[in-house]
Chains A and B, each alone.
Chain A
Amino acid sequence: MKLKGLMTLAFAVSMVPASATIARLQALGMTETDNEGSYYIQDDRNIFLNVANINDYKDTVILEWGNEGSDFGSDSLQTDKDGQAKAKGGVFKSVGNGVMGVYLGNESNTAALLRGVGTAAKHADKTFSGGDAMLDGADNQVDLFYGQSSSIGDWGVNVVYAEGKDAATRAYNIAHAVRLGLKNEGWQAFANISTGTTVRQVQDYGSEAVFGQFEGKLGLHLGGSYDAVKSDSYTGTVYGFAKKFDWEQTDSGGTTSASLGDAPPSAGGLTRNSRGQAGTVDGGFMTWALGYGSKYQSGKGTLFTNIEYRHKEIEVKFNAKAEAKNVVVPVTVGYEHEATSWLTLRGSVVHNLMGYRENNNYGSLNYFGNIAANQEFGADTNGLKVDIQNSTDVRAGASLNFGKLRLDGLIGVSTTGGVISQRTDGSGKYQETGILNGDRLMARVGMVYNF
């Protein structure tokens, strides 16, 4: 009886999910813009992918170290980057048969980048010149969670809300969304719905006041997964998802002046002339993917592999339509190993088996919209298909385990960034790559405490 009890306990302990943070999933190859989780690796970050996962992470405090994030044009619009992480975190507590939670500061990178794209062209140019006229990003976001187990599986719901205003710049922004999720023993499904976004701002240019607005329409992120192969040591998961978001952007100011010239190389070297368009134009993006991810467990280690087909495209319907498309087939091989009782090490390599980009008319986008497009889709190809080069990316991470408390982080990051094989000094030269520095123990640190 005692032996049975011990075995049950050991099994229960081994079934405790590998609870961790953004750093863990990034070290294992996650490349999602919003770091919302993995479709085949179990992790507490997955609550932002499928909120039903909250049922696996009750009685947990999560802290993601960071600050205000990386300025995207101005400090009113910021993104969460590896070297300039955004502070966030929350608590999840079991209540009766369910789990309640609150998570703070989990603003979306996608939302920030789209607001950058949707900023009026003159506002963006004013920002470039040293002002701050970008549309404001979502700020002080609150995520409220509730989940429960039922006869058909675990379910969860998450309501997202962020609002801000600044009467001095006649700026206002509001965003709200809801996530719905369901999961069972071998499958899961979710629907994450952006129910509304409105961002607007007015700036004066001498006698001219320019109004800019970004109005989001219904946004959907639908997806699911199925464990097609499952044994004691191996799980193979088929998954798929589609994200779609459309918006209207209004610019009363029209194109930027033809005499602005190019930005200096240090600021991207982009031309600032004749960007934007007066009036309201539609924009939209679509991302979908189908993939297969596997997890093979052997002793204290786990091997992760993944292959997927991913298609993402975006367009803003100016007269000269700005559009970008990436099609990639990345393969990921990752590992995680319990090196000692207090140290877990992990790493991955990601590489595109096939990948091309097909972009056009970046010149129509405002200055910072152009930068966002370069960042997410690569440089303008004038409508031609161009292979994506140098896609190989190696990452590594570690967890320091102190019983119910864990510290996660990326390791091997020598400078300010979090990717060990893609550091540059801004001039395109790689520097300090492949180095394990003792003074920089971990980057993008997260703390998880189970109580």
Chain B
Amino acid sequence: MKKQIVLATIATLATTSAYATKARMNALGQAQDRGSFYINDTRNVFRNAARINQTNNYVVTEWGQANAVGTEEAPNAEGGFFRQAGSFNYGLYLGSDITDNSTTDGFADDLRGLTGGESYSEGGFQSRSNDLDLFFGGDAGVEWGARVHYANSSTEQAAPAAEKKQSTLELGLGMVMGDLNAYVNYTLTNEAEVASANNDKLEDDGSMNIGVGYDWNDFTFFVDYDKSAFKYTDNGGAAVATSQTVLTVGTGYIKEISSTSRVFTDISYKMTSAEDESATAASVIEVDRSELPLTVGFETDATSWLTLRGSISQNVFINSQKVKVGTAAELSSSLTNTTNVNAGATLNFGKLMVDGMIGTNSNNGTAGTADDDAGVLDLDRLMTQVAVHYWF
């Protein structure tokens, strides 16, 4: 019996050791910000706060710069700790830029990869910074969790310019009840005032993330709705709005090969709609995408000190984009080059682990994203998007 317990403990520790960080999520072809719909990872607390009950007692630091945009190739400095306290769990996370997605050109322009129409921001607004996330969760038969995201900053200016202000308040709630999980993340307020003029304003317009998942044997079925939207007021004029919604319906499958090796597969229908609004009919831009991305990944302990992982993803069969600019006819096209291979590694030093992407070149975050030198394993750039996590 003792032997069984010891073996179970070892297996648990070995499995837990790989659960962490944005680099792992990217290497496995998942979303780095809110984590995966079906792979257990510490990042998932940003999607479903109740996940804090499943991964805690660790410190994590994501290497990067405080003012970086937070992409794979320009990671954001952030980190925090999560701890169990009796029957409750709590956590503190610093520097997360998870919903800091304002765009000057608008979501629709960003999607189509071109500029035009209205501007939805301008330089000079107080940047969102020093973000703070507080987590709290427990298990009362149903695992529950809550997350509060807070950021507030200001800069006084010489008269007659007014003080620049920025404030953000978001609330995340989640539950896990057996095989069922559900979550909502809602932006209560996210606004910046004063840029080049005192009555410039940038304010959130109902951003939210809602979803539900259900585990069935080795499969997880999920539905996720994500909306990002904000309004921009230029010098007291009429506000212009830009928004993007993403509806994802899919399933993920995990084949556990052993306690230290597993293969991941997911396929989902992803419908994206973005609209850049304008009072001028010719400047209204609408973009709609339909995609069916397929992802296959694996993760295995290559040695006692090294975990390797990798994935490939590509849109299959459904892969279209429709763009409508003003009153012009709608144009449809296929999305090009959606094939993406990523790889990553974890250096395991007992309770301390170092995660990163491998095979990345020219500062990019995927296995050969740059046109030149693609597919190369350089030792002078051992890992990128590095994160360190310590389990206590």
Q: Which residues of A contact B (CB under 8 A)?
A: 61, 63-71, 75-76, 78, 83-91, 102, 104-105, 139-140, 142, 163-168, 402-405, 407, 409, 416, 438-445, 447, 449, 451
Complex: A83 Cα to B376 Cα, angstroms: 8
B218 at the interface (CB under 8 A from A): no
- Of A88, A105, A165, A447, which contacts B343 at CB under 8 A? A447
Q: Is the CB of A402 within 8 A of B308?
A: yes
Q: Is the CB of B339 within 8 A of A405?
A: no
Q: Is the CB of A439 within 8 A of B367?
A: no
Q: Of all chain A residues, which has the CB nearest B315?
A: A140
Q: What are 11 A-B interface contacts by the 8 Å CB criterion?
A: A63-B343, A66-B375, A68-B371, A83-B372, A165-B333, A404-B300, A439-B379, A441-B377, A441-B379, A443-B375, A447-B343
Complex: A141 Cα to B123 Cα, angstroms: 42
Q: Is the CB of A102 within 8 A of B379?
A: no
Q: Which of B283-338 contact A (CB under 8 A)?
A: 294, 296-298, 300, 302-303, 306, 308, 310-317, 319, 331-338
Q: Is the CB of B337 within 8 A of A65?
A: no
Instruction: Write the nearest CB–CB distance from A61 to chain B, whole angstroms.
Output: 5
Interface-side segment among B99-107, B151-159, B257-265: B257-265
B75 at the interface (CB under 8 A from A): no
Q: Is the CB of A167 within 8 A of B263?
A: no
Chain B residues positioned under 8 Å from A403 (CB to CB): 300, 302
Q: Is the CB of A167 within 8 A of B332?
A: yes
B255 at the interface (CB under 8 A from A): yes
B250 at the interface (CB under 8 A from A): no
Complex: A395 Cα to B319 Cα, angstroms: 39
Interface residue tally for chain B (C-beta within 8 Å): 51
B8 at the interface (CB under 8 A from A): no
Q: Of all chain B residues, which has the CB nearest A440?
A: B378
Q: Is the CB of A140 within 8 A of B374?
A: no
B353 at the interface (CB under 8 A from A): no
Complex: A402 Cα to B301 Cα, angstroms: 8
Q: Given A445-B376, A449-B300, A451-B257, is A65 in contact with B315 using a C-beta cutoff of 8 Å?
A: no
Q: Of all chain B residues, which has the CB nearest A400?
A: B302
B179 at the interface (CB under 8 A from A): no
Q: Is the CB of B339 within 8 A of A140?
A: yes
Q: Is the CB of A90 within 8 A of B296?
A: yes
Q: Is the CB of A105 within 8 A of B374?
A: no
- Of B300, B319, B379, which contacts A140 at CB under 8 A? B319
Instruction: Write the nearest CB–CB distance from B347 to chain A, whole angstroms.
Output: 14
Q: Which of B338-353 contact A (CB under 8 A)?
A: 338-341, 343
B95 at the interface (CB under 8 A from A): no
Q: Is the CB of A104 within 8 A of B339?
A: yes
Q: Is the CB of A439 within 8 A of B372?
A: no
6 nearest CB pairs, A to B: A402-B302, A85-B375, A105-B339, A89-B312, A439-B380, A164-B334
Q: Is the CB of B341 within 8 A of A87?
A: yes
Instruction: Write the nearest CB–CB distance from A295 to chain B, whole angstroms.
Output: 27
Q: Is the CB of B296 within 8 A of A407?
A: no
Q: Is the CB of B331 within 8 A of A167?
A: yes
Q: Given A84-B371, A167-B331, is A104 in contact with B343 using a C-beta cutoff of 8 Å?
A: no
Q: Given A165-B334, A403-B302, is A63 in contact with B373 using a C-beta cutoff of 8 Å?
A: no
Q: Is the CB of A165 within 8 A of B332?
A: yes
- Of A63, A402, A445, which contacts B312 at CB under 8 A? A63
- Of B337, B374, B378, which contacts A85 at CB under 8 A? B374
Q: Is the CB of A451 within 8 A of B333?
A: no
Chain B residues positioned under 8 Å from A402 (CB to CB): 300, 302-303, 306, 308
- Of B255, B297, B312, B335, which contacts A88 at CB under 8 A? B312
Q: Is the CB of B377 within 8 A of A104?
A: no
Q: Is the CB of A87 within 8 A of B331?
A: no
Q: Is the CB of A445 within 8 A of B375?
A: yes
Most buried by B among A78, A89, A404: A89
Most buried by B among A70, A87, A142, A407: A87
Instruction: Write the nearest CB–CB distance from A21 to chain B, whole angstroms.
Output: 10
Complex: A89 Cα to B337 Cα, angstroms: 14
Q: Is the CB of B371 within 8 A of A70?
A: yes
Chain A residues positioned under 8 Å from B338 (CB to CB): 140
Q: Is the CB of A87 within 8 A of B339?
A: yes
B252 at the interface (CB under 8 A from A): no
- Of B298, B310, B377, which contacts A409 at CB under 8 A? B377
Q: Is the CB of B296 within 8 A of A71?
A: no
Chain B residues positioned under 8 Å from A444 (CB to CB): 375-376
Chain B residues positioned under 8 Å from A71 (CB to CB): 371
B356 at the interface (CB under 8 A from A): no
Instruction: Write the nearest CB–CB distance from B288 to chain A, whole angstroms.
Output: 13
B172 at the interface (CB under 8 A from A): no
Q: Is the CB of A441 within 8 A of B378?
A: yes
Q: Of all chain A residues, which has the CB nearest B332?
A: A167
Instruction: Write the nearest CB–CB distance from B312 to chain A, whole angstroms.
Output: 4
Q: Is the CB of A105 within 8 A of B312?
A: yes
Instruction: Write the nearest CB–CB distance from A336 to chain B, whole angstroms.
Output: 20
Chain A residues positioned under 8 Å from B333 (CB to CB): 164-168
Q: Is the CB of A405 within 8 A of B375?
A: no
Q: Is the CB of A104 within 8 A of B371?
A: no
Q: Is the CB of B265 within 8 A of A405?
A: no
Q: Is the CB of A104 within 8 A of B294?
A: yes
Q: Given A168-B333, A447-B343, is A84 in contact with B378 using a C-beta cutoff of 8 Å?
A: no
Complex: A67 Cα to B375 Cα, angstroms: 7
Q: Is the CB of A66 within 8 A of B374?
A: yes
Q: Of all chain A residues, which has the CB nearest B367?
A: A65
B359 at the interface (CB under 8 A from A): yes
Q: Is the CB of B379 within 8 A of A66?
A: no
Instruction: Write the nearest CB–CB distance from B127 to chain A, whole angstroms.
Output: 32
Q: Given A67-B370, A70-B371, A445-B377, is A88 in contact with B303 using a C-beta cutoff of 8 Å?
A: no
Complex: A61 Cα to B249 Cα, angstroms: 25
Chain B residues positioned under 8 Å from A441 (CB to CB): 377-379
Q: Is the CB of A104 within 8 A of B334?
A: no
Chain A residues positioned under 8 Å from B317 (CB to CB): 142
Complex: A439 Cα to B373 Cα, angstroms: 13
Q: Given A85-B368, A166-B333, A405-B300, is A67 in contact with B312 using a C-beta cutoff of 8 Å?
A: no
Complex: A105 Cα to B294 Cα, angstroms: 12
Complex: A61 Cα to B312 Cα, angstroms: 9
Q: Is the CB of B341 within 8 A of A65?
A: yes
Chain B residues positioned under 8 Å from A85 (CB to CB): 368, 374-375
Q: Of all chain A residues, which has the CB nearest B359?
A: A65
Q: Is the CB of B298 within 8 A of A407?
A: no
B369 at the interface (CB under 8 A from A): yes
Q: Is the CB of B334 within 8 A of A84?
A: no
Most buried by A among B367, B369, B374: B374
Chain A residues positioned under 8 Å from B312 (CB to CB): 63, 87-90, 104-105
- Of A63, A75, A90, A416, which contacts B372 at CB under 8 A? A416
